Amino acid sequence: MIAYIKESFQELKNNVTWLERAKASNLMVIVAVFSIVFALVTWGVDSLFSKLIRLYFEKLIG
């Protein structure tokens, strides 16, 4: 297990191409913004469907 961990760190150190810090930061901001927008859209659609279902059952029952 220890050998596996050592080999994994060597692989990350020697064989992986890492992005520049500035590019990685830009991509992180893009992902964060997209995640927030997606969450807001999901919340909006959920609220809309909730209101539509409530309206439907109010009309059906009352």
Average pLDDT over all residues of the chain = 94
Question: 31-59: per-residue pLDDT in tens?
Answer: 999 999 999 999 999 999 999 999 999 99
> 25-32 long-range CB contacts below 8 Å, 24 or more apart?
none
SS3 string of 41-54? HHHHHHHHHHHHHH
